[in-house]
Structure 1
Amino acid sequence: MTTLPPAPWTQRADLAELVVALDPAGEGTCRYVGGVVRDTLLGIVAKDIDMATTRLPEQTLERLAAGGIKAVPTGLAHGTVTAVLAGGPVEITTLRRDVETDGRHATVAFSTDWQEDAARRDFTINALSADPRSLVVYDYFGGLDDLAARRVRFIGDAETRIREDYLRILRYFRFQARFGSLPADAQAEAAVQALGAGLKGLSRERIAAELLNLLGLPDPAPTLARMAELGVLAQVLPEAEPAPLAALVAAEARAGAAPDALRRLAAILPADPQAVDQVGARLRLSAAQRKRLATAAARTGAETSAEARALAYRIGMDEARDRLLLAGESLAPLAGWQPPRFPLKGGEVVARGVSAGPAIARTLRTVEDGWIACQFNDAQIPALLDAALAG
């Protein structure tokens, strides 16, 4: 018998109150499910806590109200109610079974069978559940063994699981990058390779979200390379070349920079602002994300840490970090530094006899360029202005 190891969340008083509200008689009508069980078994701090119950969503709302717990009907049609607790919200979903799937959406019916509900999940390591009082873990599909072996395996037939929702192809690679080891499950790899074309029927937003989640993991480079080998990457990002990603991950590690999904996306896309902006539009990225990608794509490959501050002043701190890391350069010159304000104003140029108009802007640009070149030394402004006016 496997039980969840001690973890801070298992000691939360508000969760104990929630369990009493949902299952006062201890009849086993609710369990912790999914990622919180998996991550706790791995010793990873769980971010979200989800529960499942055999009771209908309306009954869940009634029990929470009776227990004095605020409830939000976040997805009644799908059986989900959110309990608002002091330690954070908890989603509570009625057990379900799939009635019909089309590769993107599923029609579900409520159920009272725990194994039936677990069977509709994607991977064995995500189908684990735990009793909220005893913390005993329930495993219907060998998830505990797969977790111990760091094996990402679909529940049942891999192709069947994927045809239920083609996004599971990308989820497979994300989970492989986060939890998996090599060699990967042969049936899983054969299935994602055979059915990769199904990704084209998904919304661009879903694909973008899953890709960015993958790229934001500590080291997705080997997994992305495998996606390319299996022909999956070309289905969602035909412009991508995964080879540069490993060098960027190494550069981030040397610089102590946190993983950044957007920077990593820039690394695998062409250094072509127009082409990259088209990719951003296709993936429905925000205007800010597209602008940052295009700025990274304007890199020359010759950026150096010697010009780090000048670069940050001209294009922004985050954008400069992107360019430097993509070039494999150090971020040390930017540590603790903030771009200063250019101290010279147009009025001062006018006071020196320059007529209003384009000449003022040209003079300011000339002085600013010199100020940047002398490491933002304000004391040099008068001499720089004299030289600009003389010129």
Structure 2
Amino acid sequence: MAELPPAPWTAREDLAQLVSALGAGNVRWVGGAVRDTLLGDEVADIDAATVLPPKEVMARLREAGIRAVPTGIEHGTVTAVLAGGPVEVTTLRRDVATDGRRATIAFSDDWREDAARRDFTINALYADPATLEIADYFGGLDDLAARQVRFIGDARQRIREDHLRILRYYRFQARFGSLLDGEAEEACADLAATLKGLSRERVAMELLNLLALPDPAETVERMLRRGVLPVVLPEVGSDGIAALIALIAAERKSGTPPAALRRLAALLPPDPRVAEQVASRLRFSAAQKKRLATAAGRTAAPDDPRALAYRIGREETLDRLLLAGADIAPLTGWEIPRFPLKGGEIVARGVSAGPEVARLLRRLEDQWIAEGFPGRDRIEQLLDAALAG
């Protein structure tokens, strides 16, 4: 029997208290925490599965003095708020009905039945908190060792149950996969049109999560070639793939962390209007829409990166530089300064409050930027000269 290797999170005292509250044998760790620990990756979130019904989970946690939040209790999920971070505790389930977007579930006490409704074999690994023994019902350990992302059961059936699994497949393949699963590849391509029925928010979340991975370019190119990407991003062509590859290389060379919106901008044509249309279609926030459109308005590398950063923002300028393949050194360690002159100072020098003050401020600010953001003494000189003029 395979065992989960000891990790810092498996020794957490608050998790031991959670297991004690729910009862030994009633709970197992499941999903990403188990998978990532086996791979030696950092564990971000911890999920637990239990045979106990949600109301009993709530009662036991409260009795043990653990705050319990019914975050998705109708679907069996209760969040235990612990000192080391929240843990989602979900009652074992089976699907009663699915329509590609949502599922009607029933609670279960059968671990294999719960595993059978999960998407990929590598996500259906359970670990006993006491012994760390792993329960693997569908060959997830072998697939993890082979770096293969494989659907549990029939790939087409799993996608028909939840169309988002197409995008999830590609995201997991980009992160974990080196060996392609032929059945999964064909199923995703054949059923790509079903993505049209999903909410735009769910599609956007998966796309951004995919693009935020260290190097998703090969996967994104395959999505384009297999006809999957055009369903959700018809604006992307081969030029976009080339731009994404170049951007990832520039990020690595400069040591800049990945940014999903910057990478999405690389995939899109360099046209802010197109970017705004995509952002609206994917229901991005106003801030996301603005950043995407600004990045999509890229041209050649700016002559003065610091001046551009002052006017449009540091991250937006970083996007422009990296998309242009330009040096980001001018922004490294540099903080955007604040213009050291107020309108009241101009009024105090005898200029009547009103449009003339605003015009003078803008002119002086332009001079200050053009001269490389000099200190207060230079601002005084510029102001003296302007008033004398």
Shorter-chain TM band: over 0.9
Q: Which residue of 1 aligns with 2:224?
A: 228
Q: Which residue of 2 aligns with 1:256?
A: 255
2:55 paired with 1:70: no
C-alpha contact 1:125 1:152 (8 A) present in aligned 2:
yes
- Amino acid in structure 1 at the alignment position of 2:10: T
Which one of the candidate residues 210, 213, 223 is aligned to 1:214?
210
Q: Which residue of 1 aligns with 2:196?
A: 200
Q: Deviations over 1:151-205 (max 9, x none)?
A: 01111111010000000000001101111114x1111110010000000000000
Q: Which residue of 2 aligns with 1:289?
A: 288
- Amino acid in structure 2 at the alignment position of 1:29: N
2:101 paired with 1:104: yes
The alpha carbon displacement at 1:357 in A equals: 5.3
Q: Which residue of 1 aligns with 2:175?
A: 178
Which one of the candidate residues 150, 153, 159 is aligned to 2:150?
153
Q: Distance in 2 between matches of 1:389 and 1:20?
A: 77
Q: Deviations over 1:68-104 (max 9, x none)?
A: 3222222221111222222122111111111110000
Give the TM-score, by structure 2 length: 0.93
Deviates more, 1:377-386 or 1:44-53: 377-386
Q: Distance in 2 between matches of 1:29 and 1:236?
A: 41
Secondary structure of the 1:321 match is helix
* Percent of paired sites with the same residue: 69
The alpha carbon displacement at 1:365 in A equals: 3.1
> Root-mean-square deviation (CA), in Å?
2.0
Deviates more, 1:375-384 or 1:119-128: 375-384
The alpha carbon displacement at 1:286 in A equals: 0.6
Aligned residues: 385
The alpha carbon displacement at 1:65 in A equals: 3.1
The alpha carbon displacement at 1:333 in A equals: 1.2
Secondary structure of the 1:3 match is coil
- Amino acid in structure 2 at the alignment position of 1:6: P
The 5 A counterparts of 1:1-391 are 1-23=1-23, 26=24, 28-182=25-179, 184-240=180-236, 241-300=240-299, 302-304=300-302, 307-346=304-343, 358-378=355-375, 379-381=377-379, 384=382
The alpha carbon displacement at 1:344 in A equals: 4.0
Structure 1: state its 5+ residue gaps: none
Query: In structure 2, do the counterparts of structure 1 residues 358 and 195 end up closer, same or farther at CA, with 3 Å as the change threshold?
Result: same
- Amino acid in structure 2 at the alignment position of 1:144: L
The alpha carbon displacement at 1:386 in A equals: 6.6
Query: In structure 2, do the counterparts of structure 1 residues 381 and 69 end up closer, same or farther at CA, with 3 Å as the change threshold?
Result: closer
- Amino acid in structure 1 at the alignment position of 2:210: L
Deviates more, 1:321-330 or 1:135-144: 321-330
C-alpha contact 1:225 1:243 (8 A) present in aligned 2:
no
The alpha carbon displacement at 1:385 in A equals: 5.0
The alpha carbon displacement at 1:384 in A equals: 4.5
Secondary structure of the 1:71 match is strand
Q: Distance in 2 between matches of 1:314 and 1:68?
A: 52
Deviates more, 1:168-177 or 1:261-270: 261-270
- Amino acid in structure 1 at the alignment position of 2:369: I
C-alpha contact 1:96 1:111 (8 A) present in aligned 2:
yes
Q: Distance in 2 between matches of 1:326 and 1:86?
A: 42
Query: In structure 2, do the counterparts of structure 1 residues 375 and 54 end up closer, same or farther at CA, with 3 Å as the change threshold?
Result: same
The alpha carbon displacement at 1:370 in A equals: 2.5
The alpha carbon displacement at 1:271 in A equals: 1.8
Secondary structure of the 1:328 match is coil
Q: Distance in 2 between matches of 1:193 and 1:363?
A: 60
- Amino acid in structure 1 at the alignment position of 2:267: I
The alpha carbon displacement at 1:233 in A equals: 0.7
Q: Distance in 2 between matches of 1:66 and 1:347?
A: 62
Give the TM-score, by structure 1 length: 0.92
Q: Distance in 1 between matches of 2:12 and 2:344?
A: 63
Secondary structure of the 1:153 match is coil
Deviates more, 1:363-372 or 1:186-195: 363-372
Q: Distance in 2 between matches of 1:356 and 1:60?
A: 66
Query: In structure 2, do the counterparts of structure 1 residues 234 and 382 end up closer, same or farther at CA, with 3 Å as the change threshold?
Result: same
The alpha carbon displacement at 1:346 in A equals: 4.1
Q: Distance in 2 between matches of 1:54 and 1:355?
A: 76
Q: Deviations over 1:8-38 (max 9, x none)?
A: 0111112112212212xx4x32211111110
Q: Distance in 2 between matches of 1:45 and 1:339?
A: 34
Query: In structure 2, do the counterparts of structure 1 residues 362 and 44 end up closer, same or farther at CA, with 3 Å as the change threshold?
Result: same
- Amino acid in structure 2 at the alignment position of 1:74: T
Q: Deviations over 1:321-353 (max 9, x none)?
A: 111111112221112222222234445656777
Query: In structure 2, do the counterparts of structure 1 residues 380 and 88 end up closer, same or farther at CA, with 3 Å as the change threshold?
Result: closer
Structure 2: state its 5+ residue gaps: none
- Amino acid in structure 2 at the alignment position of 1:175: F
C-alpha contact 1:366 1:388 (8 A) present in aligned 2:
no
C-alpha contact 1:363 1:389 (8 A) present in aligned 2:
no
